[in-house]
Amino acid sequence: MTELRALGSSGLLVSPLCLGGNVFGWTADKAQSFAVLDSYVAAGGNFIDTADSYMHYFPEQGNEPGQSETIIGDWLATRRNRDDVVIATKVGDHPKYMGLAPATIKAAAEESLRRLRTDHIDLYYTHFDRDESIPVDEIVTALDDLVKAGKVRAIATSNISPERLSASLAFSDREGLARYVALQPPYNLVSRDTYEGARREIVEREGLACVPYFALASGFLTGKYRPGESVENVRNLPGLAGGYADTDRGVKVLDALERVATAREVELATVALAWLAEQPTVTAPIASARTVEQLPALFAAQDLHLTDTELRTLTAASS
């Protein structure tokens, strides 16, 4: 039985592996997505992450924003298990609801609720804090209004500067408003400075949870991308996993992962997630699965306890 963890000060209890919903409606159709969701829950998972924008980033592939939320909403309605899962979604990157102006946040939340076919969102993230001319006071107040209305249980943030994160928390404390309970940064063995440093210090000091995305570096840490090799994969697009294969750090990390994984007789993804789960402040790494067959390697990380030597080996390779 998966042991649930407290998500910061939210009162929410979540599984130590968060299932990423970015592939739903993109590389996984509705039937595949339902199968993955069913298997994830059957294995003890209860924490599902999506966004109102998934997956509009690659319009040349026919993607439309909101498909992931719609699929998850249909699944929740079909399975009648809304109270058994923690649903996290995000605001600020949907083409029709871009940015974090208060009116945008509230309108986007209504659309997410409609697509998810629910009356509340468990964890509501600000997705990107691109326009810093919008005062954090206005953003937090809009989110607090949603909490007071019962439409959102807890709020969180992603892709925000340390300065704006600190200012947001200070405003919440000063005014007695809803407070961010989690930060979702990009963080993995080949991308550490995106979190380690000022952001992690704030998370630790303020009692937030860290829920990292790109936990497997868009698939690179599964070992499928190697130097000089071409991989046919819809997700291997410019700026994603393939870019790590030709870096010194990428080569060193794969070599270290290979050695630990071979010794432990597990997959590279399992070791990469286990390393991340051991890092200070990390509550639940996010990982996506396009097929049911990809899930066991992800869940295995929950039972893989790396030795101090293995942790040092991986950390040194990624430095």
Q: What local confidence, expressed as pLDDT, does residue 263 receive?
A: 98
Q: What local confidence, expressed as pLDDT, does residue 165 receive?
A: 98
CATH number of this structure's domain 5-184: 3.20.20.100
Among 271, 68, 164, smallest CA distance to 183 is for 164
Task: Decide: 129 and 161 in contact? Cβ < 8 Å.
Answer: yes
Instruction: Name the pLDDT band for 2 (thresholds 50, 70, 90).
Output: confident
Q: What local confidence, expressed as pLDDT, does residue 224 receive?
A: 85
Q: What local confidence, expressed as pLDDT, does residue 233 receive?
A: 54
pLDDT at residue 242 tops 60: no
Q: What local confidence, expressed as pLDDT, does residue 112 receive?
A: 98
What are the residues whose beta carbons fall under 8 Å from the beta carbon of 276, sequence distance 6 or more? Answer: 187, 188, 189, 212, 215, 282, 285
Instruction: Name the pLDDT band for 238 (thresholds 50, 70, 90).
Output: very low
Q: What is the mean pLDDT of the chain?
A: 94
pTM: 0.94
Mean pLDDT lowest among 14-23, 51-60, 230-239? 230-239
pLDDT at residue 61 tops 80: no
Rounded Cα distance, 19 and 15, in Å: 9
- Residue 264 vs residue 61, higher pLDDT: 264
Q: What local confidence, expressed as pLDDT, does residue 111 receive?
A: 98
Instruction: Name the pLDDT band for 62 (thresholds 50, 70, 90).
Output: low
pLDDT at residue 231 tops 60: no
Mean pLDDT of 80-109: 98
